[in-house]
Amino acid sequence: MALKDVWFSPAFGEAFPKGLFLLGEIAAVTEFSTDRNAPKRQKVDLDNEGNGTGKRLWKGTVTDPTAMGAKNASFDVVFVADVQPVPAVGEVVPGMTPIELEGLQVKPKVAGSGEYKSIGWNVRATGIKGDTSGAKQAPADPGAVRQAKAA
C-alpha cells in the first residue's frame, strides 16, 4: 500500500483542540548500541536508504486534555530540529508546560498485541510555537558577534 510511509499534516487546533501539556523535559533521542561502553550518539532523521532531513531527533512526553481513557492520555512527540526545542512559557504546575506544536505531522500505526490491537499514532513536529532556542529562528540574544540593526 502506498500510504504505508505517508505523514499527514493536520492543523494543531484540529488535532488538539484544548492544546497539549509537556510533561517534564525534552531530551535527545539516542541510537541503540550493543556496546554498553560506547558513547551515546544522537539519532538523526535518516532512514536506511539515506532519506530524511538529516536533522537531529528530540523526544518529549505530552498529555492531551481531550484524550478519552488513560491509554491515550499521554504519548511521545519526536521533534525533528537541529537545536533542542524549548517551551516559550513556564510551567503552570510543577512538571507541566502548555505547548503548541509547529510543523505537526502524524502517521497511523498498529498499537497493542494479540487480540487487543488498536490504531495508535506516531507524532512528530519541527518545533514549539514561540521557541527562542534558535530551532526555528535566530536566538533571542544574538551576542556580540552580530551587529544590531540601525534604527
- Residue-wise pLDDT for 102-121, tens only, equals 999 999 988 888 888 888 88
Look at 84 and 137; give whichever has higher pLDDT.
84
Query: Cell for 114?
Result: 494479540
Q: 3-state DSSP call for residue 96?
A: strand
Buried b (16+ CB within 10 A) or exposed e, 118-129: eeeeebbbbbbe
pLDDT in tens, 4-26: 778 999 999 999 999 999 999 99
Question: In this structure, is the dihedral angle defined by the CA atoms of residues 34, 56, 99 and 69, taken in order, positive or negative?
Answer: negative
- How far CA 132 is from CA of 32, 68, 84, 86, in Å, comes to 30, 33, 10, 7
The residues that bridge with 93 in the sheet, in sequence order, are 96
Domain extents in the chain: 20-32+39-128
Does residue 148 register a pLDDT over 80? no
Average pLDDT over residues 78-93: 93
**Beta-bridge partner residues of 145:** none
Q: Which amino acid is at 17?
A: P
Query: What pLDDT sits at residue 143?
Result: 46
Determine the pLDDT at residue 71. Answer: 74
